[in-house]
Amino acid sequence: MMSSSAALVLALGLILVNFTGHCHGALQVGFYRGKCRLLVDVESVVATVVKAKLIMDPTITPALLRMQFHDCFVNGCDASILLDGRASEKTAPPNLSVRGYDVIDAAKAALESICPGVVSCADIIAMATRDAVSLSGGGRYNVETGRKDGFVSLATNVNLPGPDIPVAQSVATFAKKGLNATDMVYLLGGHTVGIAHCSFFQDRLYNYKNTGKPDPNMDPSLLVSLRRICPMNSARDNTVNLDQDPASSLRVDNSFYKQIMMRRGILQIDQDLATNSLTKATVAKIATGDDFNAKFGEAMVKMGRVQVLTGNQGEIRKSCRAVNKR
């Protein structure tokens, strides 16, 4: 039996945790504190790996951002995207250009060598993405941890939004994941870094909505340069930067919003954010304000809560690419 004073202390503790906002369900900032050989700082082990990888390849930041989105939106943030297999999620068409698996493998190997079976792959994705974002000019947000890894990964479950999704439909898709329209606009700011293949926006250059003409809402000089990179019947699927400010295409900042306000968005959904009545006010606010970094971090934390497995659910994988043998 717990004494009444002990119960009071426990209750106060729980209230405090809630008020400080550090706890969300079973997720919590600093979940691994004291759990890896007592004194090992799990987050700095991950950060060291990410830093070393990023020096060699700055495109790891977009790779990880997209990986976290594609993981969280399919079966929740449970590292299901990492599982290898003939028909696992990573084999589904929208995931074929997802990269960065080697970064997660390296962080997992480093952690397993120090404290095996403690840190989940789902948390490694969240921590590594946060580190990459902050090392690429973004804000350093407090990442929540305590996720478990899932057992299921099926390509047939992959139902991610395509680049031509109408804004209202995208808002509805994000709402199903507990994310509102403002969260969505900030999260699409992930497109402030990285690339898109011509095949995802080719229609805008030559045959917008079957008109036989280009998208009238595209800056004419952007149209000229994109047509050069993405010729009409090319056998090659080239790539262009999602953020068309060349000084900022690998920096996590608000320049993406400035670009879409100048009709220089690459994907249809990106451009539509700047004109649709549901989202344009938020876009204008972000483009002219300076709170993108903090708010993007908050939205990433919120996305990291989608359908997580915690407590006795799921497992801590030994390898991020396979479920443990049972």
With residue 195 as reference, give the H or E element that holds it: strand 195-197
From the list 71, 62, 4, the residue with the least C-alpha distance to 191 is 62
In this complex, which beta carbon is closest to ligand HEM, that of residue 24 or of residue 99? Answer: 99
- In whole angstroms, give the CA distance from residue 58 to residue 56: 7
Nearest-5° angle of CA 185, CA 187, CA 191? Answer: 95
42 or 301, CB closer to ligand HEM? 301
Q: How long, in residues, is the chain?
A: 326
Q: How far is the CB of 150 from ligand HEM (least distance, A)?
A: 20
Q: How far apart are CA 257 and CA 190, in angstroms?
A: 11
**Cβ of residue 11: shortest distance to ligand HEM, in angstroms?**
37
Q: CB 256 → ligand HEM: shortest distance, Å?
A: 10
Instruction: Report strand pairing: 23-24 vs 27-29.
Output: antiparallel
Element at 28 (helix H, strand E): strand 27-29
Q: Rounded to the nearest whole angstrom, what is the least distance from the CB of residue 187 to ligand HEM in the complex?
A: 4
Q: Which amino acid is at 33?
A: R
70 catalytic residue (yes or no): yes
Coil/strand/helix, residue 241? strand
The residue (of 40 and 158) whose beta carbon lies closer to ligand HEM is 158
Q: How far is the CB of 196 from ligand HEM (least distance, A)?
A: 4
Give the residue carrying structure tokens 């992959």: 158
Cα(215)–Cα(288) distance, integer angstroms: 25
For ligand HEM, which residue has the nearest CB? 194
Residues near ligand HEM (CB under 6 A): 59, 62-63, 65-66, 69, 97, 99, 161-163, 165, 170, 187-188, 190-191, 193-197, 200, 242, 267, 269
Question: CB-wise, 49 or 266, nearer to ligand HEM?
Answer: 266
The single-letter code of the amino acid at 105 is D
Is residue 238 within 8 A of residue 198, CB to CB? The reply is yes
Which residue, 136 or 145, has its beta carbon nearer to ligand HEM? 136
- What letter does residue 303 receive in the DSSP assignment? H
Out of 22, 24, 70, 197, the active site residue is 70
Which are the catalytic amino acids?
A: 70
